[in-house]
Structure 1
């Protein structure tokens, strides 16, 4: 089970957390000489690549031999260093990437197997992938786990999953799997199934930073055959400076967003620390912007002052985002995105899913409970060697590979959308066995044949502070607040360490927000998707603002209000908005959620002037939100099964 304490240590390194508690690789995993069988791995002078790049018997594309090693046979593990050449033509450099290779004992020229490439989240290393390496090798896959550039013993700086650097590095690791690129010690691999000479049968899995790298590699190399990116971004500009209005494509807005200073500060600190750890062997990493591409330091300095990204920041964050090259992603993709995630929310996966679907790429989406901001239940995710088969998401990932890499038609790819329903989960208890935990988690997942699901329920923002379903029940009136400048008036979370502060509830200071609330619900209502709110702000100080600095910033959110008045902000999610025109209606996307509003509870929408986790307004704007009876403000809530709320 994930522990929140792992997040600050590894800056939300997803796969590192996934394999917490994994078994260590000991000398028992290696052969007595610490080497691979000669048939699978050999110095290039002795063996070299297959001269014809031969596929397994039966021809390329037919998959590996069906025979599998005996269950008791342990994978053979070897650490290898591989040199790669990265960067555009005017900035070419050689980096050494450290890797761990896991092979089924029987793998070799006469028994080729499909491969899985895997790497870690931000701040981690190849050691984080030991569990997935052992587990997948036991299931008949060759696994190459590696430390990304700037991390865990690999050379060069952190390039933020840039296709021209990180993508090219990964492409040359695919060459190694194909037997077309040798390790520093001269080793070549001759054990991976080939679809064509130089084209290995290979998929990729990893989380967060290790999720985006899969897209970055495919931007420059079409040889990846299946992807499983977990909790990663669509547009890094949106992730770190979100603006939840005026979307042009996906989550990319035409208006500069609001700086997510908590998360950005955390990642910067971890990246610099990793550089300092290896400065003695590679002091160049601390030159200029310490351990980061040069643009990062300059961008952070500017955005920290301004509170929003300038054009240069927007350009490079777009460059390192799959949103800018989705036309290159053609491999079947299993998107796993966390509901408890204030860094990379559900909208990021939705944006990627929508475009891949439009382009005809096979794609499936799972909304897990776990994310950068919270844990999932025991049995939801555990990619350690001994538990992958008894964790829900581990099973889904391996089934995806079995279907697309092994060509196993008996393993279906799964429904288009699967989502964890917290209200449907019944904890079997700490003493229950893994099978019981898996069964409980599996039963808690709902499925849908498409996204979006259900229908939309309009709730009108009445002038008397009520949320009502009938336009005729709307009353005239208005609410006003003053947006704070010096000190935030609202608190949602402290990113990555919020688990230590769970007893501190989200709050909004009086006079710094406006709110509208339904009557108690007569029956429960389920939401699966992304709510929106359409509203007009009357803000004289922001009307006609010549630039972003003077524009109004608003934080939209939904509370679940219990009968005793206790408010719950689902996963502490908020939606920052920089309003482009304070005189015109604005449509705001609220955070994507999966939530049951229980009978007797009330739904509350809040528009606040600040939030501790973000930069805010640079001007103390007086804000009035009036209800026009001809066109009242409206919250549009995705609902399942029972669309009509109890106050009708």
Structure 2
């Protein structure tokens, strides 16, 4: 149970706080610590207190490619390492123009540390566990996961520096290399995007520097230190990709970085909505099936062949946010020239494999875009870390427990980014300790506070500190209104392995999978759900068990698509960036109106419907589409095909519930591909609608090479929780007087 200390003693400690100092070592940084209270952000107030100490020496005066000589107000790490596995030594050959200190060949990272109160949470034998919280891209900083109270708003509810530090974790929050504020102040160096050769070694170096500090709280009696065998990386998005990468290099020693031969070990990790294949996340080819696991050899990565098409608006937005900030002059990062070249390639025309903008090195660069693709796969994608898989296989690497908070609806890092890694871990080591959660959150979607946080009381508010009797945050509040959310599951999982002093006896977690159904205004009432909450949650022993049966729709009918489907209103409305900014939607489900149930996507898009459902069916997971096709006109491969899956209500409201893309080289035959996946309930009398489009721009960049495809029909296999069923379907009817999208309208009730 959390221990409180008298408010008078806490107030005295505040008045006797340490004098701020410039910090170029951890010792200097902890000299800036001040006492805080995570209960109500008032350490001098009465009542229960959740004390901790927060150490911040401000923001360095420079960042990016301007050297911070002496690492003033920062912690120094090598600009370049001599290798990547197990924290290698500093390389004697730093990269030119990268902002390194010419005296030390190091860069400077802007860091804060939060430290438990040694009275309320004395260090357990071996020391406190260390949580390393990594921010997102491309405007994140050390402040991204900072809060003043345990129950911060939104995703920071029970997930911030104050939460962890007040419960017995030392917390390291720092600004990753190259990230700066609007005045170009922050951390020096180029942002290498979670490279195993840079950012992963950076965090290992900083952890070693903390482990090598003689006393993290010299103003308190005794010696306070971390337990080097209990390191916990965590973060979301960029921080999620970082955490997956950190998992693949889980042990190292500190012989080169500040703590002698201290052996360090990741005891558990919590990764949220990150990537395990960065190239597939940004330039998807959709060449991955749920029925088989991709190979882990980076030389033959499925992402490479064929090269896909970029997520145009998302990639452009990330690049703008990183290059200049959005709006310009906001926090941003410092991209190396090779990233600029990659963007120039993806902004040019296809086929990219023949485009000089992609295949020739830019002036002053030795890298081509294929080289950069290899880097993204080999150095930045956890799924392809061969040494890790080999070590798991021969037992030289012990399994590291993982809490995986994947996402169903995120169009940047869809569920495959977590699912492929979790399934591979389970295949590599029997009973691998991984717990998974999937829901409707993060980039460009609703990201509801009540998906992350717990819900309390008759008014169903996000639980606050006062909902926990006696301030015991380890217990479930007596007024809790439904099962606990994603963040409580994450915390209980970490506590079970890290044993923080505020909760040293958390039971071992179930190694299960939980998924919630997406709730939008269009389906909230039929689900009996509140619009600001997730839908029903289901928990099973495996992902496959969440929806063990299949609803198959057989939909014959002649349809055609074209590579330019202007005006293409459905694609524009379904673009994640535009939808998240739309005043009327703000990341909710994209909705179209199809009066009379007629196809409404316009020319160049093929539309197929199921027959009306005779019962409610609950989809959880990834559906597969099989299209029988022939390329009938235009250019050379590769070709692009996109699917948008809708729930078509009897009143003609058409709600998008899933999507996916596939790049292929075949000119005829059946083509089967998976869409992203989701949790959604289709109600009785509704239809499942699939729009097939070669042109899904601006989400997926459309091909500049004109082509047309003819379809003779499709089928879709939907994973459901109810009994299996095969139903009929067909080409969606066209409105009278409308030019048909194909050679026949068809009857949605016709036999397949």
Q: Same fold (TM over 0.5)?
A: yes
2:319 is aligned, of 247, 268, 290, to 268
Matched ranges for 1:163-174 at <5 A: 163-174=196-207
Instruction: Give 1:249 deviation, angstroms.
Output: 3.6
Mapped to 2, the partners of 1:205 and 1:71 lie a distance apart of: 28
Give the equivalent residue in structure 1 for 2:548: 455
Give the equivalent residue in structure 2 for 1:56: none
Matched ranges for 1:325-364 at <5 A: 325=385, 328=388, 330-360=399-429, 361-364=432-435
1:209 is aligned, of 238, 244, 255, to 238
Task: Say yes or no: does 1:480 pair with 2:560.
Answer: yes
Instruction: Give 1:646 deviation, angstroms.
Output: 6.8
User: Greater shift after overlay, 487-496 or 364-373?
Assistant: 487-496
Task: Say yes or no: does 1:614 pair with 2:700.
Answer: yes
Mapped to 2, the partners of 1:172 and 1:73 lie a distance apart of: 30
Whether the 8 Å CA contact 1:341–1:374 is kept in 2: the answer is yes
Task: Say yes or no: does 1:238 pair with 2:280.
Answer: yes
SS across alignment from 1:256? coil
1:315 is aligned, of 374, 395, 404, to 374
For the aligned residues, what is the CA RMSD? 3.7
Matched ranges for 1:349-428 at <5 A: 349-360=418-429, 361-381=432-452, 392-406=485-499, 408=504, 410-422=506-518
Whether the 8 Å CA contact 2:26–2:213 is kept in 1: the answer is no
Relative to the length of structure 1, the TM-score reads 0.75
2:641 is aligned, of 528, 534, 554, to 554
Q: 1:332 to 1:42 in 2, by over 3 A?
A: closer
Give the equivalent residue in structure 2 for 1:295: 338
Instruction: Give 1:608 deviation, angstroms.
Output: 0.9
Instruction: Give 1:582 deviation, angstroms.
Output: 1.7
Q: 1:567 to 1:190 in 2, by over 3 A?
A: farther
Structure 1, unpaired ranges of 5+: 1-26, 48-69, 280-284, 431-439, 465-477, 628-632
Task: Please list the CA deviations of residues 139-187 of structure 1 after superposition, one character each: whole Å capped at 9, or x if unmatched.
Answer: 121111111112241211211111111111111121023226999x9xx
Whether the 8 Å CA contact 1:101–1:142 is kept in 2: the answer is yes
Whether the 8 Å CA contact 1:323–1:352 is kept in 2: the answer is yes
Q: 1:421 to 1:581 in 2, by over 3 A?
A: same
Q: 1:303 to 1:429 in 2, by over 3 A?
A: closer
Which of structures 1 and 2 has the larger relative contact order (alpha carbons within 8 angstroms, sep 6+)? 1
Task: Say yes or no: does 1:566 pair with 2:550.
Answer: no
Whether the 8 Å CA contact 1:538–1:623 is kept in 2: the answer is yes
Give the length in aligned residue pairs: 544
Task: Say yes or no: does 1:518 pair with 2:533.
Answer: no
Task: Please list the CA deviations of residues 587-620 of structure 1 after superposition, one character each: whole Å capped at 9, or x if unmatched.
Answer: 2111211110111100112211211222112222
SS across alignment from 1:379? helix
Mapped to 2, the partners of 1:226 and 1:28 lie a distance apart of: 36
Structure 2, unpaired ranges of 5+: 1-10, 32-46, 58-73, 83-92, 96-104, 148-159, 181-185, 252-264, 354-368, 390-398, 455-461, 466-472, 478-483, 594-599, 729-750
Mapped to 2, the partners of 1:619 and 1:235 lie a distance apart of: 27
Whether the 8 Å CA contact 1:485–1:619 is kept in 2: the answer is no
Relative to the length of structure 2, the TM-score reads 0.65
Task: Please list the CA deviations of residues 8-67 of structure 1 after superposition, one character each: whole Å capped at 9, or x if unmatched.
Answer: xxxxxxxxxxxxxxxxxxx9996633369xxxx9949x99xxxxxxxxxxxxxxxxxxxx
Whether the 8 Å CA contact 1:522–1:646 is kept in 2: the answer is no
